[in-house]
Amino acid sequence: MKFDLKKSERIHHRDEIQMLFTKGKTFVDFPFRVIYLSVPKETEAVKIAVSIPKKKIKKAVDRNLLKRRTKEAYRLNKHSLKSAIAKQEFTLLIMFIFQSKEILPFMEIQDKINRILLRLEKLYGKTD
């Protein structure tokens, strides 16, 4: 099992992001607002993007720190969701939007990301 986060696993096309915001479903698990959408199958089973609004976290250094922590938490906990969705005929696009005004420690972010991934796995992981 590889613990990497390739470029193909990240959302980087403007049209994918726009489609995610217009057609996606949303839920909140503080400090994250999660927008997700299933689209026709691509190369990867799950693709993610992370957003830390400038309105919430003023300093770019702190925004980058939170982005790194969020991506790392996802990278370490993504395997159960990826294996559940790999059997499906769609790709799941996920956007994590940070909502807090405080910089959280890595362990707290990891716990929240893990809960979010388990929730998405329950929604999309059923093959029967």
Segment (H or E) for 20: helix 14-23
CA gyration radius, the chain: 14
Q: Is residue 116 part of a domain?
A: yes
Q: What are the tens digits of pLDDT across the range 16-53?
A: 999 999 999 999 999 999 999 999 987 888 999 999 99
Q: Residue 35: CB partners within 8 Å, gap ≥ 6?
A: 20, 21, 24, 25, 26, 94, 95, 97
Domain assignment of residue 75, given as a range: 8-124
3-state secondary structure of 54: coil
Average pLDDT over residues 111-128: 86
Question: What is the separation of C-alpha 76 from the centre of its chain, rounded to a whole number of angstroms?
Answer: 12
What's the pLDDT at 8? 83
Model confidence at 1, in pLDDT bands (50, 70, 90)?
low
What's the pLDDT at 75? 94
Q: Is residue 3 part of a domain?
A: no
Q: 41: domain CATH number? A: 3.30.230.10
Q: Which of 68-72, 74-78, 122-126 has the lowest mean pLDDT?
A: 122-126
Q: What pTM was computed for the model? A: 0.91
Structural domains in the chain (count): 1
